């Protein structure tokens, strides 16, 4: 049985992980960490360093500013971590990278299998269409989301740039631009409203034709299920920084 600490246990995704783990005998939540220490069915702490329970892995769905402290405590406890939190700054990403030299860390802005398939399709399309098609990404999320654009939109943009040798310059929205679009641009646009779980559209716009590759998350459970699979994967890895690609490759 895999013993989990949920970082961000009182949040929307923390509660999804709690429910999925309770339904699956292969997992047990032994403790939670959250700045909101409202009681749950397991002990809740305000800092990972204070957790007394033995665990195999930490799953994090919290807030970007909380991540460096989490990673430092995980390093002290030599605990593998699954990081799903988005909106991470360059500095926060560096802390993760450094720590991954000593503990296994799995990080993905989107834990769903579907988005990771979308990324593969988008990379192929970008290679073929790079000369004649403009690429724009539109993401839509619920009105409680704090970061914009979504971590997934940035991950998709980075994967496009990876196959196009960093040719694309990101343009976030267009309200500051009063000039014609350049072919080198990659537009990224965020929409927030209601209870939208997560939508990503990658638009390849050519002359008189448009190809759209899209993913629509219809529940938060897809992210929770992916995070549990990531937890199962990361506890058996050597120190390093792992992504969904590594998990999918492993089968």
Ligand X SMILES: O=C(O)C1=N[C@H](C(=O)O)CCC1
Ligand Y SMILES: NC(=O)c1ccc[n+]([C@@H]2O[C@H](COP(=O)([O-])OP(=O)(O)OC[C@H]3O[C@@H](n4cnc5c(N)ncnc54)[C@H](O)[C@@H]3O)[C@@H](O)[C@H]2O)c1
> Residue positions in the annotated binding site for (S)-2,3,4,5-tetrahydrodipicolinate?
142, 151-152
Q: How far is the CB of 3 from ligand Y (least distance, A)?
A: 19
Q: Which stretch binds ligand Y (CB under 6 A): 73-81, 107-115, 188-196, 236-244?
A: 107-115
- Nearer to ligand Y by Cβ, of 204 and 231: the residue is 231
Q: Evaluate whether 152 touches 112 at the Cβ level (below 8 Å).
A: no
Q: Which stretch binds ligand Y (CB under 6 A): 55-63, 159-167, 202-210, 242-250?
A: 55-63
Distance CA 177, CA 173 (A): 9
Distance CA 182, CA 5 (A): 47
| Angle between helix 67-77 and helix 90-99 axes, rounded to 10 deg | 10
Q: Which stretch binds ligand Y (CB under 6 A): 7-15, 49-57, 123-131, 239-247?
A: 7-15
Q: Which of 7, 107, 140, 145 is catalytic?
A: 145
Binding interface with ligand X (CB under 6 A)? 86, 109-110, 141, 145, 150-152, 198
The binding site consists of: 8-13, 34-35, 84-86, 108-111, 142, 151-152
Upstream peptide bond of 149 is cis (omega within 30 degrees of 0): yes
Which two structure tokens, joined as six digits, stand for 40? 């749950």
Q: Evaluate whether 48 touches 73 at the Cβ level (below 8 Å).
A: yes
Distance CA 116, CA 233 (A): 16
Verify whether residue 146 is a known catalytic residue.
Answer: no
The binding site for NAD(+) consists of: 8-13, 34, 84-86, 108-111
- Nearer to ligand X by Cβ, of 100 and 150: the residue is 150
Only one residue has tokens 């506890």, namely 235
Q: Which are the catalytic amino acids?
A: 141, 145
């Amino acid at each position: 049985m895999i013993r989990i600490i949920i970082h961000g246990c009182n949040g929307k995704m923390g509660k999804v992980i709690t429910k999925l783990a309770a339904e699956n005998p292969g997992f047990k939540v032994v403790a939670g960490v959250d700045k909101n220490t409202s009681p749950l069915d397991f002990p809740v702490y305000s800092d990972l360093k204070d957790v007394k329970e033995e665990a195999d892995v930490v799953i994090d769905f919290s807030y970007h500013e909380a991540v460096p402290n989490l990673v430092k405590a995980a390093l002290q406890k030599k605990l593998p971590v699954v990081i799903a939190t988005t909106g991470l700054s360059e500095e926060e990403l560096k802390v993760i990278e450094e720590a991954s030299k000593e503990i296994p860390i799995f990080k993905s802005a989107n834990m769903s299998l579907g988005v990771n398939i979308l990324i593969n399709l988008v990379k192929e399309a970008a290679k073929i269409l790079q000369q004649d098609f403009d690429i724009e990404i539109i993401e839509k999320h619920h009105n409680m989301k704090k970061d914009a654009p979504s971590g997934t939109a940035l991950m998709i943009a980075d994967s496009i740039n990876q196959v196009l040798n960093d040719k694309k310059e990101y343009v976030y929205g267009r309200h500051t631009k009063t000039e014609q679009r350049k072919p080198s641009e990659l537009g990224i646009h965020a929409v927030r409203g209601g209870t939208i779980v997560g939508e990503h559209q990658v638009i390849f716009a050519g002359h008189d034709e448009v190809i759209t590759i899209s993913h629509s998350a219809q529940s938060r459970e897809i992210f929770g299920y992916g995070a549990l699979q990531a937890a199962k994967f990361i506890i058996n890895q050597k120190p390093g920084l792992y992504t969904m690609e590594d998990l999918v490759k492993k089968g």
